[in-house]
Amino acid sequence: MGKTFLLFILILSVSIPSSQAQKVNQIKGLLMDSLHNYVIQGASVSIVKEGATKLTKVSLSDNRGNFLIENIPENTPFKLEITHQNYEKSIRNFIIEKDQIIDLKQINLDFKDNILDDVVILPPVRINGDTLEFNADAFDLDTNAVIEDLLNRLPGVMVWGDGKITSNGKEIRNVLVDGKPFFGADHRIAVQNIAKEAVEKIQVYDTRTEEDKAKNKERTDEMNIVLKEDKKDGYFGKIGAGYGARKRYDGDLSFNIFSPKTQATAAFSSNNVNKRMNNIDQLLRNSTFKPSGISTDFNPDFQRSGITKQHVAGLSLQHDFQKIQSSQKRSLFKASYLGMDQQVVSDNNSLTNFLTSQANEAVNTAENTSASISENRNHNLNLNYDFYNDFFSLQIAPSFKTYHSNQNSSSVANYDYQTHQTESNDYTVGENEGDELNMDINFTKNRLGNYLTDKWIDKLQFNLRSQTNYSTNQNDLLRHSETINLTDNSINRSFQRKYIVNNKSFKQDFTLDMNDILSAFFINSHRLPNVRFSQKLLLAHAENDQAVLNDEHLTNSYLSYQSTFSKVHYMPAIKLSKDIYRQYLYGRFDKALTINVDFAALLVHEDNTSTLDYRNLNRSLNYLTPAISANYNYTLNSISNKSISLSWNKDVEITNLDQLQPIYDDINVINRFYGNAALRSPTKQNFSLTYDYINNIKLGYSYSVSLNATKLENEITDSIIYRDNGTREAYLTNMEKNVWRTSLKGQLSRPFKITDNQNLTLELKIDQSIGSRFQYIDQKEDESDNFSSANDFQLYYNWFDKIKFGTNYSINYYKLKSKTNENNNYSTTYQSTGISIGYSITKKWALNSNLNRISSNNKYYTDDSNVWNVTTSYRALKGNNLEIKFSALDLLRENKGFYINSNPSAYTAGTRNNLQNYFMLSLSYFPRKFGL
Amino acid sequence: MKKIYLFLLAALFTHGLFAQEIHYSETVPTEEIRLALQHARGGYVDEIYDEIEYIPLETTKESTIQNIKRLWVTDQYFIILDAFGSQILFFDKQGKYIRRINKIPNCQSCKSVKLLFHDATVDVENKSIYVNISISVDKASIVKFDFDGNYFGAQPQFNDMNDFTFLKNSLIFYNSPRDLQDERNFTMLSVLDNDKNKDIISYDSLASVDDDEYSDNNRNFSIPSKQDSLLYFTRSYDYNVYELGKYGLNKVYKFIFPFQYTIPNDFIKNKEYNGKREKMLSEENTSWIGMLDYIRRHKNYLIFNAESYNSSQSNRFAYNLSTGTLLNFDKITPGDFNNNFSLGSDLNEYILASDDDYMYKSMMPSVLLQTAQDPKFNYTNDPDGKMKKTISRLTKFSNPVLVRLKIKGDL
């Protein structure tokens, strides 16, 4: 399957250039201002069918006054309309025949002398300074079209299958509406909701200043959608409900209202089809108008384990205090609330095979069957004030969360360790609730003034950030557990325990970054290294109170305790950066080789006072965490950027108390975890080589490759001992020898334009890693070579208004080769292939279908499933406001929810319950009005 | 020796800069020039120019130019101030590299300065170059070199000035205090000769303009052409062009633009505009012309930039004082006459210099290469293959190319 798929893609990508349409049926000419004796640049030249009011094709005259329109439908009466705001409109009638080239030669336009007195009629396209402007009214589209439909019609603009927008090959990084973000950062909210009829013009421009261009800075193209004067306020939303077989339902409601200063949203969603909405942005994305009905979204609900029933409601508000929009100033307030009530019902059946030290094929296994119901209710309030001007920026973001959850779970596990067979039955009822208060304050002082005259304080640039978190949590748990050993009844146990846990914690993070300090004090600091002073301070204090009652009333003194934990982490760093080679040519290129050296340290003090003596801890640890890197960067002005980076850094993972002195709860009879009081904190040395390339003119073509190697000292690994009585004890230990791991990652994104209205995007991601893993089984060292590979390939084909086609293919491969026991060798392959097609049968009737195939195999387990979904939707009413949709999901009834987890000490194969075949009929209404 | 004086009143207070109105005697002749910018003519290159030559400047490790900030054309040399490269370069008239000045002898502190040479003025008569540097040497920020690169030390008498230039043997400088605490009411535009000064023009402190709004730049003076011995002076928010000759203020050309391009008469004086002027120009009335810039005289033409915030508005013009023709440089279309090559690039679109016969611009080589690499391109006017040879030697990393233009006199 994989090879066939790749071959198909290869053939498709190779054949793209030859599939380009022949450029025939042309009309061309030269536009002149004969009065002033010059050619007319940037005039809009469009062709309109006789009797029609909106254009069919449009072009702009070039720097030499020439225009050219190609691929004109044959034997159809057309009007050629030439418009420019400084000239009277000029019209020519023509009919083109097959393969004909009509050359109108020189066309003289009449200058409009008194343009101030005229009603200004905007041409379809014009170049206004450095801005390309499209007049939305000139483009003939369905009355229910949205901005995305318009973008597909604009010459040079392209919306790609992966959602990217490009203009003349350059990627649009940011989309604004009247100079502001529109209901969040996701541009799809704007382009898939706002009616095309509400748009006055669309502006595309490069945000770089002339100085930025001269200094070869990377392109940052932006799109601004200017709404018509009487459409600058409005509302849009959705009321939708669907009901189907197996009592499946899916309903949502959203209402969004906006004015030039304020945007507000109220949204609600309720479903039992595994749609999980975790924030307002997702709620909004789920309710976009998208009249074409074509979607290449893969249906993720069928991959999610468990059955989720969710009710979620959200409110959001954004207000702009800035009187005049400016990229240099902002004063924006945002508030959002999200309340959620969610129930997840999960079933799981799995078999885990533990690797063994024994030479024969006997393995230790655990067979597990579990079921759980969890209910969660939470309320989240997030506020954000964002202010910046030339001098400083300030973000203040307080947030509050309160939650309550109940969990009810039962499991039966059958262990077969050392041929001892044990059965364990567990039943747990729990209740968890808490509150969380966060405050994030981020202040940045900009560098001011010129280097000749101003004071050092003006020139000092710094960032100060404070993050505060206060939380309380109460967790009540009741566990019934019974363990029966079929061969040795000495370890048989039966427990009924109640756990009451109260936690309070306070965390405070301070970060101070002062960049380029020397330039504040020395006029000519460019010969000195860039010195960055970085300070991080983390203060934490937690109070824990755990009461454990045996048989619900007898205090268990081994598990009950009170403790106070406090922690101080201080991370000072001085970071030096210096260009040791720089070649720079104004407006041409910039090459630099930069060396960075970080002198950094981690100072830790931790104190834990507990009523359990062995949990008392008072320790101070100090580590150096230096880093060195060399970066080579080569920017060709407005064309491309490539960079190579070679780096080394040293880091440490501080062991925690639960690794050193865990509390062993003897309710876990079979699997016992003891940690290791003598455990040392492991250190890592990372070496990496990274290459990045981005081409700014070839439709955003980019790729990157990185090679990483990590040397681990004192790596923490498991030491597993299978006792003769059938129990499994797990300890942690440090590896005495150093361990190396390497990984190779790559990414490629390559868009192709096939014709003016067809495009293709190809994306490839690879991630390979190899390295040795060590563990101890029954006190014998077990070494294995581990190889893992995760590769993802995606391809999108877009034929505007007709077909959207998307496909993805991913393969994950894991191989373990043991050096001590070849019986432990195994490999696992997991493949996923998806195909999705959206087709517009008519303007109102659309058909979507997707097929997702998953297969998994290793030497013990092989399975596959095909999930095929078909959806058809019909838009009714004049404004397409009513949608009737019928969905037939998992038509093949093959969704199984199987999974395999692979790791160096065990692999697990199992199945989980998930969404399966159902049919649903949905009705949605989209209220929307632009201009109140 | 004639002496020329010019007084500027530039009252500067802690919170604002007081802009000035220039006063001059009624005996000074004035000429109103009405410029209907939208009706400026254009044409194909062969209709505007008699000659067009592309002169590549030799690219070597030593002669690599970042950007041409100023260009002086003498009988022998092209002298180039490359402020980004902190150097002054000499090329012969064929573009061959001769020498450069990029150091100040015996100046240890200069070595650590990245952009040391940030401005310069050339005294063509005495073959001297005065360089404005970023730090002080012997308590002065102006130093002097001759054309051979010999160093003549610091020139403390020229400190604290916005701009200065030479007119024959006379030095003229325009001074405006930099220190916001400086409460002097007068600064001076003077010609020095034997340490004697004479006033020409005085400025009144009439209106307060916020410091942020006042954007006088360093191009107040034209570079005088050898032919006319005339110098032109312009300032922000003032449509007058002041012609200075050896005997003082010769003449004032009062440029008058159509209504849609013109700032209100009381733009500087009206205190209601305080704090709003920048917004009025950059957001509300982007067609308004904020200043005349890059002014120069070439033959019968007054060449100027009419600067506005509207980037789509043409701003490079030449006015023929004899015929009244207004030429729009943005509307000159390349053609077969110059092998369809552009006459400029986005960076440095203005006329950099002129001598008795020619005007000079510069352009990035990548623009020429882009045209030559078009599959449909062919040389239409290159009988001796010179242009083809020029192009073949260029790379996208080459030095900027000078464009030498001989404008027709009878437009």
DSSP string, A61-126: --TTSEEEE--PPTT-EEEEEEEETTEEEEEEEEE--TT-EEEEEEEEPPB-TTTTTSPPPPPSEE
Task: Give the pLDDT confidence score for residue A769 in this predicted structure.
Answer: 95
**Interface contact A324-B279, CB threshold 8 A:** yes
The closest CB to that of B134, out of A324, A452, A636, belongs to A452
Best residue in A39, A116, A212, A638 for a mutation probing chain B (most B CBs within 10 Å) = A39
Q: Does B136 touch chain A (CB under 8 A)?
A: no
Global pTM reads 0.78
- Please tell me whether residue A178 adopts helix, strand or coil conformation: coil
What are the structure tokens assigned to A116, written together?
């101030």
Phi, psi of A913 (to 5 degrees): -70, 150
Residue among A210, A452, A588 whose CB faces B366 most closely: A588
Determine the 3-state secondary structure of A437 from DSSP.
strand
Nearest to A130 among B47, B178, B311 (CB): B311
Testing the interface with A: which of B119, B328, B331, B369 to mutate, by most A Cβ within 10 A? B331
**Band (B402; pLDDT cuts 50, 70, 90):** very high
CA separation for the pair A151, A178 (Å, rounded) = 16
pLDDT of A637: 76
Q: What is the mean pLDDT of residues A188-197?
A: 89
Q: Does A22 touch chain B (CB under 8 A)?
A: no
Q: Which helix (H) or strand (E) element contains residue A456?
A: helix A456-459
A21 pLDDT more than 50: no
pLDDT for A839 equals: 87
The DSSP symbol for B230 reads: B
DSSP, residue by residue, A490-550? GG-EEEEEEEEEEEEEEEEEEEEEEESTHHHH-TTGGGSPEEEEEEEEEEEEEEEEEEEEE
User: Which residues on chain A are in Cβ contact (under 8 Å) with B179?
Assistant: 453
Contact B64 A33 (CB under 8 A): no
> Hey, are the CB atoms on B347 and A585 less than 8 Å from each other?
no
Lowest mean pLDDT among A594-603, A669-678, A819-828, B266-275: B266-275
Residues of A in contact with B64 (CB under 8 A): 585
Contacts of A866 (CB under 8 A, 6+ apart): A851, A852, A853, A892, A894
**pLDDT interval class at B220 (50, 70, 90):** low
Start-to-end C-alpha separation, chain B? 38
Does A588 touch chain B if contact means CB atoms closer than 8 Å? yes
Q: Does B181 touch chain A (CB under 8 A)?
A: no
Q: What share of chain B is helix, strand, coil (3-state, %, to 5)?
A: 10, 40, 45
**B273–chain A nearest CA distance, Å:** 17
Residues of B in contact with A588 (CB under 8 A): 364, 366, 396-397
Distances B380 to B29, B263, B335, B385, B395 between C-alpha atoms, Å: 48, 45, 9, 10, 22
pLDDT number for residue A642:
92
State the pLDDT at residue A16. Answer: 39
A392-417/A364-388 β-pairing:
antiparallel
Q: Are A619 and A599 spatial neighbours (Cβ–Cβ below 8 Å)? A: no
| Residue A826 CA to its chain's centroid (Å) | 33
Mean predicted confidence (pLDDT) in A480-509: 92
DSSP-assigned letters across all residues of B15-43 = TEEEEEEEE--TTS-EEEEE--GGG-EEE
Q: What pLDDT digit, counting tens, does each position of A784-831 carry?
A: 999 999 999 988 887 766 788 888 899 999 999 988 888 888 899 999
Residues of chain A with C-beta less than 8 angstroms from the C-beta of B397: 585, 588-589
The per-residue pLDDT for B189 is 53
Instruction: Work out the average pLDDT over A653-670.
Output: 93
Q: Which pLDDT score is estimated for A284?
A: 83
Instruction: Judge whether A878 is closer than 8 Å to chain B, CB to CB.
Output: no
pLDDT digits (tens, 9 = 90+) for B91-114: 999 999 999 999 998 888 787 777
Of A248-257, B17-26, B193-202, the poorest mean pLDDT is in B193-202
Q: Which chain B residue has its CA at the smallest distance from A86's CA?
A: B38
Among B111, B134, B347, beta carbon nearest to A214: B347
**A596-616: average pLDDT:** 96
Cβ of B42 within 8 Å of Cβ of A37? The answer is: yes
Distance, in Å, from the CA atom of A928 to the CA atom of A281, rounded to the nearest integer, reads: 19
Nearest-by-Cβ selection for A129 from B64, B178, B310: B310
Q: Is B218 on the interface with A (CB under 8 A)?
A: no
Instruction: Work out the minimum CA distance from B254 to partner chain A, whole angstroms.
Output: 24
ipTM of this complex prediction, to 2 decimal places: 0.75
CA distance A637 to A213: 7
SS3 (DSSP) at B182: coil
- Whole-number average pLDDT of chain A: 87
Residue A215 pLDDT > 80: no
Interface membership of A129 toward B (CB under 8 Å): yes
Q: Do B333 and A65 touch (CB under 8 A)?
A: yes
A17 touches chain B (CB under 8 A): no
Model confidence pLDDT, tens digit, residues A109-155: 988 865 544 445 667 887 777 788 888 888 877 778 889 888 888 87
Neighbour tally for A361: CB within 10 Å: 9
Are A165 and A173 contacting, i.e. CB atoms less than 8 angstroms apart?
no
Cβ–Cβ < 8 Å for A884, A866: no
Residue B177 sits at the chain A interface (C-beta within 8 Å): no
* Three-class SS state of A181: coil
pLDDT one-digit tens code per residue, B17-41 = 334 456 666 778 899 999 999 889 9
Number of alpha carbons in the 13 Å side-chain half-sphere of residue A664: 15
Q: β-pairing, A683-695 with A640-652?
A: antiparallel
DSSP A450: -
- C-alpha dist (Å) from residue A800 to A838, A873, A920: 11, 18, 28
pLDDT higher for A764 or A127? A764
Q: Burial code of A764-794, b = ≥16 C-beta within 10 A, e = fewer?
A: bebbbbebbbbbbbeeebbbbebebbbbbbb
Sheet holding B151-154, edge to edge: B117-123, B128-137, B140-146, B151-154
Q: Which amino acid, A678? A: A
d(CA A715, CA A688): 19
Contact B260 A37 (CB under 8 A): no
E strand or H helix that includes residue A250: strand A249-258
Residue of A nearest to B67 (CA): A586
pLDDT at B161: 62
Q: Is A527 on the interface with B (CB under 8 A)?
A: yes
Cβ-Cβ contacts under 8 Å, B134 against chain A = 452, 523-524
Q: Which of A596-600, A820-824, A862-866: highest mean pLDDT? A: A596-600
Collect all residues with Cβ–Cβ distance below 8 Å to A405 and sequence separation of at least 6.
A374, A375, A376, A377, A431, A432, A433
How do A906-912 and A199-206 pair as beta strands? unpaired
Amino acid A239: pLDDT: 94
Q: How confident is the model at residue B174 (pLDDT cuts 50, 70, 90)?
A: low
- Asked if residue B242 lies in contact with residue B250, where contact means CB atoms within 8 angstroms, the answer is no
- A39 touches B: beta carbon within 8 Å: yes
- The rounded percent of chain B whose pLDDT value lies above 90 is 32
Q: Chain B closest CA to A650's CA: distance in Å?
A: 34
Residues 6+ apart with CB under 8 A from B156: B138, B139, B140, B142
Most confident of A211-225, A526-540, A577-591, B307-321: A526-540
Residue A268 has pLDDT above 50, yes or no: yes
Pick the residue from chain B with its C-alpha nearest to A453. Answer: B179
Q: Is the pLDDT of residue B178 over 60?
A: no
The whole-number pLDDT of residue A7 equals: 38
Lowest mean pLDDT among A390-394, A511-515, B244-248: B244-248
Quote the pLDDT of residue B141.
Answer: 80
Write down the pLDDT at residue A567. Answer: 96
pLDDT at A317 over 90: yes
Contact with chain A for residue B318, Cβ under 8 A: no
Residue closest to A277 by CA, chosen among A237, A309, A244: A309
